[in-house]
Amino acid sequence: MKTSEEDNVRLTIFVPKETDLLLRTHLAQAGLRKGAISKFVADAVRWQLFHLNLETAQAHNLDVPSEQIEDEIEQALAEVRKERFAKRA
C-alpha cells in the first residue's frame, strides 16, 4: 500500500530498548534504510488488526455450519467474478 507524505501521520511510540535494538538490527541486516521502521510498524499494525478481525469473525460464526459458510463464500466469489468478467467483456 503506497501512500504520499501528505497521507502520513506522525506517531510517537515507546518500546523497550531491546525491542528497538532487535528491530534496527533486523532491518540493517536486510539492507533497509530510512523509512523502514515506519513501514515495518505500519505492516505489523495491519497484520495485528487483520488477525483481530479474523478472530472476531471466527467467534461470531462459531455456531454456523462450515458448509453454510463455504456456500456463502462461493456465492460471493461467483458474484464478484461475474462483475469482473462483465467489465472485461
Which of the four pLDDT bands, split at 50, 70 and 90, describes residue 88? Answer: confident
Asked whether 41 and 9 are in contact (CB, 8 A), the reply is no
Q: Is the pLDDT score of 9 beyond 70?
A: yes
Residue at grid coordinates 478481525: 53
Which of the four pLDDT bands, split at 50, 70 and 90, describes residue 44? Answer: very high
Rounded mean pLDDT, 67-73: 95
Q: Is the pLDDT score of 86 beyond 70?
A: yes
Asked whether 36 and 8 are in contact (CB, 8 A), the reply is no
Asked whether 43 and 56 are in contact (CB, 8 A), the reply is no
pTM summary value: 0.67
